[in-house]
Structure 1
Amino acid sequence: MPDECVILADGPAALVELCGISTLERLLRTLQRCGITRAIILSSSAAEIARRLARPSWARADLEFTIHERPPGPTTVQQIVDLWPEAAARLLLIQGDVVFDIRLLRTLLAQTSSAMLIDSSAPETNRGKLCGAALLQREWAVARNGSVESALLEGLEQHTAEALDVANQPLYDPGLRRNLRPICFPAPALANKQAAERVLFDSVQKGTLDFPAWIHAPIEKFLLRYLCRTSITPNQLTISWAIAACLTTIFFATGHLIWGIVLALVVGILDGLDGKQARLKVETTAGGKIEHHLDSFFDVVWPIALAFHFYSSGRLPTAFYYLVVLLAGEGVDGIAKAIIYSGAGRLMTRSICATHRRPAKYLHLGVGHRADSWSAGKGSNCDGVVGIDDCCNRHSASSTDVDLAPKNTLVDQLTINPVGLVLGCADRFDEAVYHNVVFERHAELALEAAAYALFHYLQNKRLGNAGAAILSQNAERNETHCANFATIVEQLD
């Protein structure tokens, strides 16, 4: 995490409301969920910003912020440096009038050197469009002057700062179970406000996996348009859902089947609303996971209530036999899902087809000590090795495999250890390298997302360069292995 965070919030754009909260409020909530605990808001209209943020918000209660006034005009690098504490090595500089996908900010915060978000799909410079977020090293900022925007553009053009292209980020969102391009857009004008809100509504919709979800989705979206502008919280929706589910159980057990079915349909809609409301207004909490356990609980309780009614009423004496069959099916389904999830990374990568026409290569990223060769990592306990069997350019699509293994696995074959993958620069190494891949045990990234990020990165880099370096980091022990790792790239026959 960076040591400090400065938010540039000028003009009315930062206070534009989208789906019930201002752009600046949305950013503060997002930053808290990225692990940021304090921030400085720099604004030429500090009084208005302070007035709008004076109202307490539980969704950002763990983030402390102070508001500083600055003269009108472009923000200068010197103004940022003046706010920069001497002990802080890194600082996140971010625009308060931009909506950021949390995946982009987490990727940016994981960088080890100065980096900034750009969007090459809307180019304004030879390296792309600045998106309004940059992770700065103190030495980098002190060496520059003039406006912040000109300094960032200069850093991109001179390659003194890494460019993280939004257009090149992985599309798959494990939380939503679907492909979704990370969103990043400035606060819209009034004429474009509805279009911006449509983007946000779409960004919280999970991938549809069953028939009822197809029916519920448009109803939930319609209700959400009104709910998001109220003070109703996701937890209140969850409580309402749980009460309705309990009443449904009572109706089923007492034989009021029509009322039970109607209420069950309502429960199905309420079940999706709380999560969407939380994601839309950035009000997610760890307690939200309880709702998933309640789902599983009522999946079992409702059939039991129905079996009890049909058995006790004499309408179906064998009701409990059918119940056993149903619960056995549920158990098999749960076991199958657990097996699939445990091997999600391998199964996912087998389904990825490489259609890029480029030379076929077999890329080994092997862990070893400084200046050691690939053989140093073989047969030893290490933090992770990744092997990518990329059979591209066979004039036909072909699959790619990644094997996943737990920590301290004896490396007999190519494996990948970490539960997350982020990208970074190689300024920590003694010798010059072209790029590096940073593996990090990061709780916010699932194995599936890690594998997607890896493939996407390697394809964009055209499988990199044989001189590439790797940094392995263990966040659990707060250790960073600052060693050069061997990279072997072999051309397949």
Structure 2
Amino acid sequence: MKALIIAAGDGGRLGNLTEHKPKPLIQLLGLSLIERVILTAKQAGINEFVITVGYLCDKVKAKLRDGNRYGVKINYIENSEWMKGNGFSVLRAKELLNGNFILLMADHIFDSRILKELVDCDVRSSVILAVDRRKPIQGDTKVLEKKGRIVDIGKDIEESDCIDTGIFLCSPKIFSYIEDSVKEGKKELADGIAKAAGSGDAEIFDIGKVKSYVSGMRKDIRPWWIDIDTEEDLRKAKKMILENASKNPSDALAYYIHKPIENKLVSFVSNFNITPNQLTITVNIFAYIVTALFFFGYLLPASILTFAVGIADGLDGKLARVKLKTSKLGSLEHSFDLLFEFSWFIALSWFLFSSTQSATPLILCIFIILFIAFYRHVYDQFRRATGRSLDDAGNFERLFRRVAGRRNLYNIPILVFILLGVPLYSLIFILFHSGITAIVYAARAMKHLHAIDKRKG
């Protein structure tokens, strides 16, 4: 399926930002608005785009070119009458769209889950409009619907029960309705949709029906979108993207300290040409420097640096989600994280063994690694079996996650007992912490899985 993107307007409400730059090229966390639209649509399986350009159109073309750098194909249609209304921008693409297509706005940033659901809808009308049930604010295009069909649409309608998100699934028939509205002197896309609605030929897709829980993020994320019209909208969008790219941290340290620091760092790093994979490699190199410091007995600097690694380790995944560069390869990152985590325990225990000639540190290390490997496997298997994180399986789990065994929390006793001059005690503490976590995770996973089996009968 193709997507038509309307990118012709001048974005006058953004003031000086669009004086010499078209609105679709305004930057937001390292990507232009239209790049975000393209890459989000690509996540929904759309790889071919028609873009209607107008104001400063050569700059848009120079930026996006043929789309090859994004792994998509782009064709352009110029609309010299862009200032007359966005209905004209849609009509310009008529000859290139012979089948059902997605219609998007270059200044509407949105959640890919909305589009993934919309493209699977059965097209029985000329248009299906994704709508949001939130209360309208100034500038919103309001919609009134009854039994799934649009009754009225427009910015100034008196009665409404949802709002237009700027995301449409259209059949070619929509062009005839827009042409009819243009003949009547009504030149906006909404006028064409209203025309289709008058014939009972326009439906809605309620984005509230999109499943909100995202297992990989360990939290509910309400399907989101935002129309960028002002600088304040840009600030809101930045905050929204960062928040929705943040996993629900498991442990207390990650929740209260790492997350706000990570958000500031990702906001800064996203403006540079740094890839998530480059960050992953850098963090791993840094982590193994810590391993070397433990191994050679530089315990205090090593233990301090573990906290820096803990913060840096969250940057690559978040940057990938912010810049829409998530990949299958990136899913291996957690395996490499576990490897360097184990290397810290091994290096510390080996140094203590070498210093004392006692096998106790090595024995403690073996059981720590066994417990961590076990509960990590239980955790992963539970998510595969249920589609939900064990941390979110119930109220108890949501509380326990803040104190459950995690690398971030293990770093604390390592530092404390090194400062106290008894580093061996850190391994003893972690042994009990990881052991308790393994017991609790196994017991709770078995409880929930057994309950699921009983419900299935």
TM-score (norm 1): 0.65
Matches within 5 A, 1:470-481: none
Aligned to 1:120: 133
Aligned to 1:287: 329
Aligned to 2:166: 132
Residue 111 of structure 1, aligned match among 114, 121, 139: 121
Aligned to 2:35: 25
Change (3 A) 1:347 1:18: closer
Question: 3-state DSSP class of the match of 1:105?
Answer: helix
Aligned residues of 1:249 and 1:260 also touching (Cα < 8 A):
yes
Aligned to 2:97: 84
| CA–CA distance in structure 1, aligned partners of residues 308 and 327 of structure 2 | 24
| CA–CA distance in structure 1, aligned partners of residues 452 and 199 of structure 2 | 38
Aligned to 2:76: 67
Give per-residue Cα distances to partners, 1:218-238, cap 9 Å, x unaligned: 111121221122222211111
| CA–CA distance in structure 2, aligned partners of residues 180 and 150 of structure 1 | 32
Aligned to 2:271: 229
Give per-residue Cα distances to partners, 1:137-196, cap 9 Å, x unaligned: 235555663353223344456553431123443322223111122221111412443233
Question: 3-state DSSP class of the match of 2:217?
Answer: coil
Residue 162 of structure 1, aligned match among 203, 206, 216: 203
Amino acid at match of 1:68: I
The reply on whether 1:50 has 2:50 as its aligned counterpart is: no
Give per-residue Cα distances to partners, 1:399-439, cap 9 Å, x unaligned: xx99989xxxxxxx969xxxxxxxxxxxxxxxxxxxxxxxx
Aligned residues of 1:346 and 1:403 also touching (Cα < 8 A):
no
Change (3 A) 1:70 1:277: same
| CA–CA distance in structure 2, aligned partners of residues 296 and 151 of structure 1 | 55
By how many angstroms is 1:48 displaced? Answer: 2.8
Aligned residues of 2:216 and 2:389 also touching (Cα < 8 A):
no
**Greater fraction of residues in helix:** 2
Residue 200 of structure 1, aligned match among 229, 236, 241: 241
Aligned length: 354
By how many angstroms is 1:103 displaced? Answer: 1.0
By how many angstroms is 1:263 displaced? Answer: 2.3
| CA–CA distance in structure 1, aligned partners of residues 310 and 198 of structure 2 | 52
Question: 3-state DSSP class of the match of 1:36?
Answer: coil
Aligned residues of 1:345 and 1:404 also touching (Cα < 8 A):
no
The reply on whether 1:240 has 2:282 as its aligned counterpart is: yes
| CA–CA distance in structure 1, aligned partners of residues 271 and 191 of structure 2 | 38
Change (3 A) 1:159 1:107: farther
Question: 3-state DSSP class of the match of 1:125?
Answer: strand
Amino acid at match of 2:109: V
Residue 190 of structure 1, aligned match among 208, 231, 236: 231
Aligned residues of 1:41 and 1:67 also touching (Cα < 8 A):
yes
Amino acid at match of 1:133: I
Q: What's the Cα RMSD here?
A: 3.1
Matches within 5 A, 1:387-466: none
Deviates more, 1:218-227 or 1:152-161: 152-161
TM-score (norm 2): 0.70
Residue 263 of structure 1, aligned match among 297, 300, 305: 305
Give per-residue Cα distances to partners, 1:276-315, cap 9 Å, x unaligned: 1111121222221121111121232221111211112226
Unmatched tracts of structure 1, length 5 or more = 353-400, 406-412, 416-493
Aligned residues of 2:215 and 2:388 also touching (Cα < 8 A):
no
Change (3 A) 1:182 1:346: closer
Question: 3-state DSSP class of the match of 1:5?
Answer: strand
Amino acid at match of 1:70: N
Aligned residues of 2:215 and 2:383 also touching (Cα < 8 A):
no
Aligned to 2:440: none
| CA–CA distance in structure 2, aligned partners of residues 82 and 282 of structure 1 | 31
Aligned residues of 2:379 and 2:389 also touching (Cα < 8 A):
no
Aligned to 2:25: 15
Aligned residues of 1:14 and 1:187 also touching (Cα < 8 A):
no
Aligned residues of 2:50 and 2:93 also touching (Cα < 8 A):
no
**Identity within the alignment, %:** 25
| CA–CA distance in structure 1, aligned partners of residues 191 and 164 of structure 2 | 11
Amino acid at match of 1:97: D
Amino acid at match of 1:134: F
By how many angstroms is 1:326 displaced? Answer: 0.8
Unmatched tracts of structure 2, length 5 or more = 11-21, 137-141, 146-161, 182-187, 396-448
Change (3 A) 1:272 1:162: same
| CA–CA distance in structure 2, aligned partners of residues 404 and 203 of structure 1 | 29
